[in-house]
Structure 1
Amino acid sequence: MAEITEVTPDTFNALLSEPIPVLVDFWAPWCGPCRSLSPIVDELADDLAGRVKVAKCNVDENQDLAMKFGVMSIPTLVLLKGGKEVHRVVGAMPKARLAAEIEPKL
């Protein structure tokens, strides 16, 4: 299983300097769509291991990071390359659709 990093203010800067793209899943434990998307993100992390690093950011615990990225609704997935946002996906979706959104941007 691919390693998924829990995002905190302390770990976030290290993510920005990753040599491969980073997919950050902004979520909250009370969010039903987030709970349904979480196992899909985990599967995608395995499928794309070595091509993308996956991180999860609990917006309740990291409100400053959510505000920094303009996260207005969750789940929101932000793909970062070289520390800059290159793509954003909002809302739950099937694995095939999420993969189709993310893979071409890698």
Structure 2
Amino acid sequence: MKSSFSEIINSETPVLVDFFADWCGPCKALTPILTSVKEELGDSVKVIKIDVDKNQPLATQYQVRGVPTMLLFKNGKQVWRQSGVLQKEELINVIKSSH
């Protein structure tokens, strides 16, 4: 069962969306950081990865011009956006402040 992007982000739980590409070096560096953020925060955040090459319309809709670009959604609204790699502590602070 595949839920639509709008269903996924329309959640009281903050949803961190990582727009990435397989050919992007910084995106690969971000993957373990996102994994450890998820491990630390558990169910208080959802983390999803969107491949811009496979989801071009979605990338265009959110004006993603460079990867990695992370967007944080709460109740379907974008509450934060950042391009590039952030460290784990920075990401955790952003997610906690969205509550």
Instruction: Report if TM-score (shorter chain) is over 0.5.
Output: yes
TM-score under structure 1 length normalisation: 0.82
Identity across the alignment (%):
41
2:3 maps to 1:14: no
Alignment partner of 1:49: what SS?
A: helix
Runs (4+) of structure 1 moved beyond 4 Å? none
Q: Aligned partner of 2:98: which letter?
A: K
CA RMSD of aligned residues (A): 1.6
Which blocks of at least 5 consecutive residues in structure 2 are unaligned? none
2:35 maps to 1:52: no
The separation in 2 between residues aligned to 1:105 and 1:32, in whole angstroms, is 28
- Once the two structures are superposed, the pairs formed by residues 26-41 of structure 1 within 5 Å of their partners are 26-41=19-34
The separation in 2 between residues aligned to 1:31 and 1:24, in whole angstroms, is 16
The alpha carbon displacement at 1:32 in A equals 0.2
Which blocks of at least 5 consecutive residues in structure 1 are unaligned? 1-7
| Equivalent position of 2:71 in the other structure | 78
The separation in 1 between residues aligned to 2:46 and 2:95, in whole angstroms, is 12
